[in-house]
Structure formats: structure tokens, C-alpha cells
Amino acid sequence: MQKPVLQALVLADHVYIDGPSGKKVIAGAFNRLWARSFPTNLGRTTWAYVCLTEVRGSVAVSLKYIDLQTNAVLLGNQPLEITSTDPLASHELVVEVPPFPMPHEGTFVFEVYVGDQSIGSLRIAVNLLKE
């Protein structure tokens, strides 16, 4: 099976969908989180914008937030089914993401999976906020 191609992966404070045009408006894109102490969590939900192409037939897409220090999956969603008859079409997903766990300072990864294969990722730095 040929894997879909990840065209975009953006984490943001919010992704708005314009009613008339269907365009996605990404507000507050980020790849770094700050905490006053550890362990903690972000304390609010965020959004993921995912755009795929080269989808052939039906595929199950899932998102995972992984601690690179321990390889533990800290967040994941139920797979989302995408079906396409046109491999040239782009498929946009807007997914609400629960508050990110931040067990310690370090580097984490937010990955897009098709089945059990990662097709792309975004690194997230978690830092201690020094006052």
C-alpha cells in the first residue's frame, strides 16, 4: 500500500473554518510549550491542522503525542477514516487536541500515523518558565 503524503501539520491555539469558503484560518501556531513546574499539563485544548494527499481508497489516520525521553505515548486519538478516489486531492483535517501533558522539560513529538506507520511529525519543545 502506498502511504499518503503529509502536506501540512500545524498545532495552533485555534483553527477557524470560514463558512462560505471552507478555508481554514490557523491562529496562534506553536511548537514550544512553557511550564512553571513539572509535572503539569497545558491546561486547555488546542487544535491540529493536518493536510494529506495521495490518499488511495480508505485509510485510518491517527495522531500521537510522544515523550522522546521515554518513548511513551502521552496522547492519542481514535483513528479517523479518510476515503478518496482521487489521489491528487488534498484532504484537510481539523482535530481538537486535549491538554498536552508535560511531565518534564524536554523534547516531545506530535506524529501523524496511517495505520501503524508514521508519515510525519512536529517536534515540540517543553521548557521551564524562568521568572
Assigned CATH for 5-128: 2.60.40.1930
Q: Mean pLDDT in runs of 10 for the chain (131 residues)? A: 92 95 96 97 96 96 98 95 95 96 98 96 96 76
Q: Say what the pTM is.
A: 0.94
Residue range 46-78, pLDDT digits in tens: 999 999 999 999 999 999 999 999 999 999 999
Q: Compute CA distances 128 → 44, 72, 89, whole Å.
A: 18, 20, 42
Angle in degrees, CA 4, 77, 106, rounded to 5:
90
